[in-house]
C-alpha cells in the first residue's frame, strides 16, 4: 500500500477545484464613459456552491470577482440613479475570462408624488377634521378645510370629490358638477367623478 496515495489524491482534488475557480474583472461606466464608483455586481447560479458572489466598483469603476466555479452565471449590475443591467456569461478557468465591461443608462427622473415635500400626517389630520365637520352638518367648515388642503397640495385632485359631495348636500348642483369635472380633467377614467357627472347632467 502506498502511504502517499490518499495525500496525493487529495492534493490533486484541491488543484482541480482551484483551477475551476473563475475570475471575472471589468468596469462599470455611464453612457458618457465616466467611471461609476460604488456600483454593485452580483453573480448568481443556483446550481453552484456558493450560489452567489458580490463585488463593488472602485473609484475608477473597476471590479474583480474571484471564486466563481466554471459554468453559466447571471450577473446583475446596479448603481443608484442608473437602470440595472442583467446579463449571462459563461465562466471558465482562472485567467481565461474576457473583461466584463458594462455601460449603465441614467434612470429617468421619478415624477413627484402629490404629497412629496408635504407633511402627509398633517394632511391626514385635516382630512379627518373635514370628514368630521361634514358628518356633523358643518358644511361651510368642511369646505374651508378641503379648500385649504387643495391650496397646500394642488396635485391632490381627488379632494375635489369630497368638495363636490358637500356641495351636492347643500343643493349647489352647479358647484358640485364643476368640482367633479376638475377631477375628470386630471383623471378621465375616475369612476366616482364620472358617475357623479352623469347623475348631475341627467337632472
Same domain, 95 and 156: no
- Of the three residues 52, 73, 104, the one that is the final residue of a domain is 104
Same domain, 88 and 151: no
Whether residue 109 lies inside any domain: the answer is: no
Same domain, 100 and 128: no
Give the span between the Cα atoms of 196 and 9, in whole angstroms: 83
Same domain, 147 and 196: yes
Highest-scoring range by mean pLDDT, 93-97, 99-103, 118-122: 99-103
Give the span between the Cα atoms of 186 and 166, in whole angstroms: 20
User: Domain count of the chain?
Assistant: 2
Q: Are 35 and 60 in contact (CB under 8 A)?
A: yes
Beta strand 85-91 pairing with 71-78: antiparallel
Same domain, 126 and 166: yes
Whether residue 111 lies inside any domain: the answer is: no
Give the span between the Cα atoms of 56 and 180, in whole angstroms: 52
Q: Is the pLDDT of residue 36 over 80?
A: yes
Contacts of 161 (CB under 8 A, 6+ apart): 179, 180, 183, 190, 192, 193, 196
Q: Is the pLDDT of residue 16 over 50?
A: no
pLDDT band at 93 (very low <50, low <70, confident <90, very high): low
Higher pLDDT, 51 or 17: 51
Whether residue 11 lies inside any domain: the answer is: yes
pLDDT band at 203 (very low <50, low <70, confident <90, very high): low
- Give the CATH number of the domain where residue 50 resides: 2.60.40.10
- Give the CATH number of the domain where residue 137 resides: 1.25.40.10
Whether residue 93 lies inside any domain: the answer is: yes
pLDDT band at 119 (very low <50, low <70, confident <90, very high): confident
- Of the three residues 104, 135, 161, the one that is the final residue of a domain is 104
- Of the three residues 80, 104, 128, the one that is the final residue of a domain is 104
Domain containing residue 133: 120-201
Mean pLDDT of 169-190: 91
Amino acid at each position: 500500500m502506498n502511504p502517499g496515495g490518499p495525500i496525493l489524491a487529495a492534493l490533486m482534488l484541491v488543484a482541480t477545484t482551484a483551477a475551476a475557480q473563475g475570475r471575472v474583472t471589468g468596469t462599470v461606466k455611464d453612457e458618457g464613459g465616466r467611471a461609476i464608483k460604488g456600483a454593485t455586481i452580483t453573480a448568481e447560479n443556483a446550481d453552484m456552491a456558493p450560489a452567489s458572489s458580490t463585488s463593488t466598483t472602485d473609484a475608477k469603476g473597476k471590479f474583480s470577482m474571484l471564486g466563481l466555479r466554471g459554468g453559466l452565471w447571471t450577473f446583475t449590475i446596479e448603481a443608484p440613479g442608473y437602470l440595472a443591467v442583467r446579463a449571462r456569461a459563461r465562466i471558465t478557468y482562472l485567467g481565461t475570462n474576457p473583461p466584463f465591461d458594462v455601460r449603465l443608462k441614467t434612470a429617468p427622473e421619478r415624477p413627484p408624488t402629490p404629497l412629496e415635500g408635504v407633511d402627509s400626517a398633517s394632511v391626514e389630520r385635516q382630512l379627518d377634521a373635514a370628514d368630521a365637520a361634514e358628518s356633523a352638518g358643518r358644511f361651510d367648515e368642511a369646505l374651508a378645510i378641503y379648500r385649504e388642503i387643495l391650496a397646500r397640495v394642488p396635485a391632490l385632485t381627488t379632494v375635489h370629490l369630497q368638495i363636490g359631495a358637500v356641495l351636492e348636500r347643500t343643493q349647489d348642483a352647479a358647484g358640485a358638477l364643476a368640482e367633479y369635472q376638475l377631477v375628470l380633467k386630471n383623471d378621465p377614467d375616475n369612476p366616482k367623478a364620472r358617475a357623479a357627472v352623469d347623475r348631475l347632467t341627467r337632472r
